[in-house]
Structure 1
Amino acid sequence: MAQFYSAKRRVTTRQIMTVTVTDLDGSGQGVAHHHGKTLFVSGALPGEQAEVEIVEEKRSWARARTKRLLSTSPERVAPACPYFGRCGGCQQQHASPELQQRSKAKALSRLLSQQIGEPVAVENIIAGSAYGYRRRARLGLHYHARSQTLQMGFRQAASSELVAITQCPVLKPELDALLQPLHQVLSSLQAVRRLGHAELVLADNGPLLVLRHLDPLSAADREKLERFSHSQQVALFLAPDSETLEQIAGEMPFYQLDGLTLTFSPRDFIQVNGELNQQMVAQAMAWLDLQPTDRLLDLFCGMGNFTLPSGKRVENVTGVEGVAALVAKGAYNAGLNNLNNIAFYQHNLEEEVTAQPWAAEGFNKVLLDPARAGAAEAIPHIIKLAPESVVYVSCNPTTLARDSQIFLAAGYRPERITLLDMFPHTGHVESMVLFSRK
């Protein structure tokens, strides 16, 4: 007689405890301690006492969520968004912008100090508007068969589920105003069941829409979308696949920076926060103290966000970027702005650079703006060039701290550190460091 066994279900009892939050980490979680273990508590602020529930536990730390606040911080504020707590886009609308900035600066300073081995202070914080700052948004689209409705919105935190929205206070007002009419027109399409996502971008010459559709659109659907683009004064681009972009209505977008015009494709990377981007570029130019005799190397240059403004000030600039389309756009924009002292090169900066035609040039100053992975492969070559100063723009404090050690070992010192509050209400930390050779 056969016997069948089934594994016993493991019953986990969620621990609930009372703690006092003492700090806020860089990603916006409250920090508390209980029986020698560090707790990271979502939804609680420094100075608050709360009943919390453990949701993940390790040997030396645990994650918890707030069940009930027993006291509240004077820096707790009412979130401006009705979807806060469900939508995964923002994590810190319950904290004042000043608390968010101080906590990120403190976390950045602590991490850099630990890695460098000596106290390092964040010199200043560059901040702008806490709301209405995002000039780009990618909206998920999902047709709900049971209710026969189109859901449009952002993903929940750590989930693929959509939170359907009708407003978003962190978007630029011009984009926020488009959410409801956009949902209406998309819901009316024959292809409503076969839509991928919608992307809204606010350029200096107006908003644009990129619609990803999974099947060819009918003539009637295309006509509806064109009418929408004209009535809402939105440039319209259709994307039948991840490579193709069909311009239906409106002009190609551009933005102004330091008196220059930078055109871009709707799919090109541009900084989401235009106001902070202006301040960031101005700060980098000032830190580098660019002179007419300088030769600047700009690594991970994109389409020239720093390269082109630098070209107005120095003898020549070389920009290096891994994405060929961005290199082509940078070269186009240099010509558009009559900057003849700029050269762009395409190269994967995670690979060896010694044999590259630009690598032997005599650069006396360097700027780098890498992705989250950092610039560990490129920094040894920068050190060989022996520039007098380097500005490192970072979107990941962990890789910035790691890369800072390489500069430190080569005789460079972190002279100035700025926190860039590029993404208020989120856990993202942007920063900029000026390294000078001893």
Structure 2
Amino acid sequence: MAKRRRRTRRKPVPSEPVTVLIESLSHDGRGIAHVEGKTLFVDGALPGEELECHYSFVGSRYSEAKASTVITASADRVEPRCSKAQICGGCNMQHINPARQVEIKQQALSEQYLHFGGIESPPHVTPLLGETWAYRRKARLGVRYVPKKGGVLVGFREKRNSFITDIDNCPVLDVRVGELITPLRELLDTLEQKASIPQIEVSLGDNDGALVFRHLEELGDEDKQALRDFGQANGLWVYLQPAGPASVHRISPDEEDGFLSYKLPEWSLELLFDPMDFTQVNASINEAMVKRALEFLELEKNDRVLDLFCGLGNFTLPIARHCSEVIGVEGSEAMVKRGNMNAAHNGIDNAHFFSADLTQDFREQPWSQGGFDKVLLDPPRSGALEIVKNISLLAPQRIVYVSCNPATLARDAGELCRSGYTLLKTGVMDMFPHTAHVESIAVFEK
């Protein structure tokens, strides 16, 4: 007879505050202290600070808490611009001086290189910096009808729970949407189906933008018209998503054709995209990132270049301006279609796009044949392990790796170094100010 598993009871959380000295920062931006030998992660804390905090979770190996009263403040502490910064999960570093935020990210990158790649003190280049407010063009906002809060809430989820933060504006969102939180709440409050809309996808181009309303019940004609009117009044396209991503469709403006767009002026490019396509959240850092990646590639006019995880051509098409041929490979067939469309839209005929699962063996793929002078990698958070394990088959002299996860970058960098490549330089790009997210770049040569 099988034994019944005993349900683990969650330990009670003490109600009294505890005074701690913060020793360091975790990679997700929380302060680290120790209480009776157990690690305590503290939201809103900085190294060297003495503060009071209240427990939010007590575990057997570690506990979590939120800073409540700062007794001795760090010189790096600043007043958050957002009054909900300590609660909202959209940001977790607003209380830290922006320059210090970048230093923390550089330190985290170096630690990951050592821990996951066995690489000590790689040469760092100057970080890429941009505006720290109103920078965010992509976001997924939670929506919830909460009568006790007076109606519909719109915002990011609170830290470490599923509640929606009660905000009326957002200083990190592009002002075209960041200033619309209250009007959005008022709009949704008028809808008959206000309780069936769980999220809004925000996607903005240079001169246009879209809101995608996810809904769990069919919206009536009056609700749809209210959304249309809101979009027209605020210069935003309106989409509905009744089911999965394939169900997304536009209801305003009425024309079926048309795309959002952003420009990369240095390469005379305009890239077209749909609101559910992947694009970088920070336009100014994206342009600087593309420029740095191309500088690191050291492109020559006769080069044959491979761009892996190429998306809609954000790197591929600028590369095409400087080389003989560039091959872009992406797992999503929809993105391959978008890449080809963007190449045609910009009059580029030396960029060719292919669809392939880049987590699998690529040795028999037609696009992998013929050798390449340079390779650019821009993988998802899981990294590019299958690629770097077999990189010798592609025979590139130089590799530029753009990463959104320093742990997998470090792991893959270790693999490349064991394959005979040298890590020449690396650095962070502050794509997400006021968050612990680390975007980075590295260049390897053989």
TM-score, normalised on structure 1? 0.91
* Alignment match, 1:3: none
Structure 2 counterpart of 1:382, one-letter code: I
- 8 Å contact kept, 1:18–1:49: yes
- 8 Å contact kept, 1:204–1:256: yes
Shift in Å at residue 221 of structure 1?
2.1
* Alignment match, 2:181: 179
Assess, with a 3 A threshold, how the Cα gap between structure 1 residues 56 and 194 changes in structure 2: closer, same or farther: closer
- 8 Å contact kept, 1:109–1:121: no
* Alignment match, 2:3: none
- Give, in whole Å, the separation in 2 of the partners of 1:233 and 1:13: 48
Shift in Å at residue 433 of structure 1?
0.4
* Alignment match, 1:205: 207
Structure 1 counterpart of 2:178, one-letter code: D
Is 1:223 matched with 2:232? no
Assess, with a 3 A threshold, how the Cα gap between structure 1 residues 229 and 68 changes in structure 2: closer, same or farther: closer
The alignment partner of 1:125 has SS state of coil
Selected match of 1:214 from 201, 216, 219: 216
The alignment partner of 1:320 has SS state of strand
* Alignment match, 2:75: 74
- Give, in whole Å, the separation in 2 of the partners of 1:230 and 1:65: 42
Deviations 1:127-160 (A, max 9, x none): 1111111012222122235677222222112211
Is 1:46 matched with 2:47? yes
The sequence identity of aligned pairs, in percent, is 39
- 8 Å contact kept, 1:175–1:207: no
- 8 Å contact kept, 1:295–1:317: yes
Q: How many residues align?
A: 431
Selected match of 2:387 from 348, 362, 378: 378
The alignment partner of 1:305 has SS state of coil
Structure 1 counterpart of 2:251, one-letter code: I
- 8 Å contact kept, 1:142–1:152: yes
- 8 Å contact kept, 2:123–2:424: no
Structure 2 counterpart of 1:291, one-letter code: E
The alignment partner of 2:75 has SS state of coil
- 8 Å contact kept, 2:11–2:58: no
Structure 1 counterpart of 2:197, one-letter code: L
Assess, with a 3 A threshold, how the Cα gap between structure 1 residues 67 and 152 changes in structure 2: closer, same or farther: closer
The alignment partner of 1:126 has SS state of coil
- Give, in whole Å, the separation in 1 of the partners of 2:112 and 2:445: 20
Structure 2 counterpart of 1:100, one-letter code: Q
Assess, with a 3 A threshold, how the Cα gap between structure 1 residues 220 and 338 changes in structure 2: closer, same or farther: same
Aligned-residue CA RMSD in angstroms? 2.5
Assess, with a 3 A threshold, how the Cα gap between structure 1 residues 149 and 32 changes in structure 2: closer, same or farther: closer
Moved more, 328-337 or 222-231: 222-231
- 8 Å contact kept, 1:25–1:104: no
Deviations 1:287-315 (A, max 9, x none): 00111101110111111111111011110
Shift in Å at residue 405 of structure 1?
1.0
- Give, in whole Å, the separation in 1 of the partners of 2:47 and 2:218: 53
Unaligned runs of 5+ in 2: 1-5
The alignment partner of 1:92 has SS state of coil
Shift in Å at residue 247 of structure 1?
2.0
Task: Write out aligned runs for 1:298-317 (5 A).
Answer: 298-317=307-326
- Give, in whole Å, the separation in 2 of the partners of 1:139 and 1:320: 30
Deviations 1:308-337 (A, max 9, x none): 110111100001100111111011000110
Shift in Å at residue 383 of structure 1?
2.5
Shift in Å at residue 38 of structure 1?
5.7
Shift in Å at residue 417 of structure 1?
0.5
* Alignment match, 1:106: 107
- 8 Å contact kept, 1:208–1:234: yes
- Give, in whole Å, the separation in 1 of the partners of 2:81 and 2:334: 38
